[in-house]
Amino acid sequence: MRFNKKKFIYLISPLKINARFHGDLIKVLKQNKVSIFQLRLKKESLKKKLTLGKKIKKLCKKYSVKFLINDDVYLAKKLDADGCHLGQKDMNVLKARKIIGNKIIGVTCHNSIKLAKDALRNKVDYLAFGSFYYSKTKKTTYKAKIKILKNIKKITNIPIVAIGGINSDNYKNLLLNNANFLAISGYIWNNKNLKPFEAIKKIK
């Protein structure tokens, strides 16, 4: 999986997608800063996920953004997405690979080099670490320190995704310390002061 230094945002969907979302997403993607979009809907029906997924996939294709599905490998296959993201409690990488073939598979490694090494043995396409900062989007169970970004780069060249509470005030430190992509959600979609496209403009 290649990464473009100017397009370092790994955008994660809000947990609930409202009527304004698609218009907001177009404005956000037009900023040309997003490389990857992850659809992360925990509570919607399969029918709704498929409907939303098809629509978002078209937008991602239009703006040359990789479209990934969170957790659900079967949904990724149904939508013919570019890949999926797996947490530690989700399907294992080898089984996921049999289902979706040569697509992007990324794995959450929390704050653990051991989990990263396990994922590397299974030939994942990227590793995700976090949470680096306090996040309102997801309960922060694992706290990652900046030094893990330096340590992981000593053993692999595959892209590294930093997760957790990333905003316009703290993102530069992660990029300066070897993160290739920054997974961002709440700062864009739940920002009380800025509209989504205004929020992403502040990350340069």
Domains defined for the chain, CATH in brackets: 9-199 (3.20.20.70)
Asked if residue 77 has pLDDT above 60, the reply is: yes
pLDDT score at 136: 72
Cβ atoms within 10 Å, residue 171: 22
| Cα 100 from Cα 110, distance rounded (Å) | 24
User: Over pLDDT 90: what percentage of the chain?
Assistant: 90
pLDDT in tens, 26-68: 999 999 999 999 999 988 999 999 999 999 999 999 999 999 9
Asked if residue 150 has pLDDT above 90, the reply is: yes
Q: Using alpha carbons, select from 105, 114, 175 the residue that is nearest to residue 142.
A: 114
pLDDT score at 137: 67
pLDDT score at 37: 98
- pLDDT class for 3, splitting at 50, 70, 90? low
pLDDT score at 5: 66
- pLDDT class for 167, splitting at 50, 70, 90? very high
Report the greatest alpha carbon distance in the chain: 45
| Cα 8 from Cα 180, distance rounded (Å) | 6
pLDDT score at 135: 77
pTM equals: 0.95
Could you tell me which residues come within 8 angstroms of residue 58 by beta carbon, excluding any fewer than 6 positions away? none
User: Over pLDDT 70: what percentage of the chain?
Assistant: 96
